[in-house]
């Protein structure tokens, strides 16, 4: 019977435990959205995870949605990420890069030449964008031309190749949380009438084409995908999420990707679209993700509904989280005022149970 500290085989990798470090945007990339030494220290500190999935990383300048988030589309960014992967590997851990395009969740001040953000359809999101000049209302995005969609798929492929050059062990496709891929999947944001809109297979086409473009680069066994069937973040929804995501997950499973990182949310009504629900369509490793503590994680793994559990904020505040789980130790309290942007405070200065471990990283 599995528990959170049981080893697991994931694709070609033998992982020492099932504690996955969830992707978390921290807004601490340097000039040119290039990772640096502080980012390498942050990830190395958390290398007792079974697997680290990096913070969301934009595949192109058009994919940027927030200040100081890292990219994987320039030579300088690749070199910066090498610092991170070298540090993580030296500490004995595996790390996947999360590939990201925010779509409409951006602002002209973050776009090349002040252009409009792009999306499947010209549907303005509610809320505000975080810009270098402060919070500003989201704008109405520009609907992508049919020919542009294939170009973005190619950018995902190029970014995946750059991730390999940077020394990552694999990549995760960010198809969740209201960003571009999710905007294509869900019918609140996809109003297209061409081959990428309307029916569920058409709305899932963009995601499937991206996954297919990455397989020749990495092989399916080194590719994961993140989905969030019910998450309303970034003003997004779908009228038939059970059907939409069952189709998408089934199609992705046929590509033999290594894991599904499922962001779980409770529905207002209807079935819980959680790991247990989608297990029947996914044949590979299933990672559950959303507010788990140790007891709930172990109960889920023991039930067989999931194979691993991702932890976000607990890993942010507890760089030695697996060891704390092993000992049954208390957890550090997160400082939410330091989550986004800044320097070492709230990033690399959280205490370890053993100070000598902190010194070694």
Residues tagged active-site:
179
What is d(CA 183, CA 125) in angstroms, rounded to the nearest whole number? 11
Residue 143, beta-bridge partner list: 119
Residue 231 has phi, psi (to 5 degrees) of -65, 120
- Kind plus residue range of the DSSP H or E element containing 250: helix 241-253
Alpha helix (H) ranges present in 142-193?
146-165, 180-185
Residue 56 structure tokens:
């969301």
Residue 344 has phi, psi (to 5 degrees) of -70, -30
Q: Is 128 helix (H, G, I), strand (E, B) or coil?
A: strand
DSSP annotation string for 67-127: TT--BSSSHHHHHHHHHHHHHHHHTT--EEEEEE--TTSS-GGGSGGGPPPEESS--PPSS
What is d(CA 31, CA 79) in angstroms, rounded to the nearest whole number? 13
Burial class of residue 281, CB neighbours in 10 A (0-12, 13-18, 19+): middle
């Amino acid at each position: 019977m599995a528990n959170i500290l049981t080893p697991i085989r994931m694709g070609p990798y033998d992982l020492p435990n099932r504690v996955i470090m969830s992707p978390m945007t921290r807004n601490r990339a340097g000039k040119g959205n290039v990772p640096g030494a502080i980012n390498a220290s942050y990830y190395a500190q958390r290398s007792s995870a079974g697997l680290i999935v990096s913070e969301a990383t934009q595949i192109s300048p058009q994919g940027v949605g927030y200040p100081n988030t890292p990219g994987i589309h320039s030579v300088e960014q690749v070199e910066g990420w090498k610092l991170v992967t070298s540090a993580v590997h030296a500490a004995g851990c595996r790390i996947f890069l999360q590939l990201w395009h925010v779509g409409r969740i951006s602002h002209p001040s973050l776009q090349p030449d002040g252009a409009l953000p792009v999306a499947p359809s010209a549907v303005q999101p509610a809320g505000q964008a975080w810009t270098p000049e402060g919070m500003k209302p989201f704008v109405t995005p520009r609907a992508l031309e049919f020919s542009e969609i294939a170009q973005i798929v190619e950018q995902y492929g190029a970014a995946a190749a750059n991730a390999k050059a940077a020394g990552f062990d694999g990549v995760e496709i960010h198809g969740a949380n209201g960003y571009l891929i999710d905007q294509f999947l869900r019918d609140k944001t996809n109003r297209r009438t061409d081959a990428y809109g309307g029916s569920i297979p058409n709305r899932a086409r963009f995601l499937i084409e991206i996954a297919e473009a990455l397989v020749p680069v990495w092989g399916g066994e080194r590719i994961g995908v993140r989905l969030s069937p019910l998450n309303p973040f970034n003003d997004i929804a779908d009228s038939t999420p059970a059907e939409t995501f069952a189709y998408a997950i089934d199609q992705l499973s046929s590509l033999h990707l290594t894991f599904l990182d499922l962001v779980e949310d409770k529905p207002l009504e209807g079935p819980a679209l959680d790991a247990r629900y989608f297990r029947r369509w996914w044949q590979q490793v299933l990672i559950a993700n959303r507010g788990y503590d140790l007891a709930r994680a172990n109960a889920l793994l023991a039930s067989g509904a999931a194979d691993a559990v991702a932890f976000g904020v607990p890993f942010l505040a507890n760089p030695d989280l697996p060891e704390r789980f092993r000992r049954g130790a208390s957890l550090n309290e997160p400082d939410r005022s330091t989550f986004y942007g800044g320097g070492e405070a709230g990033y690399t200065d959280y205490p370890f149970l053993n100070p000598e471990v902190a010194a070694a990283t």
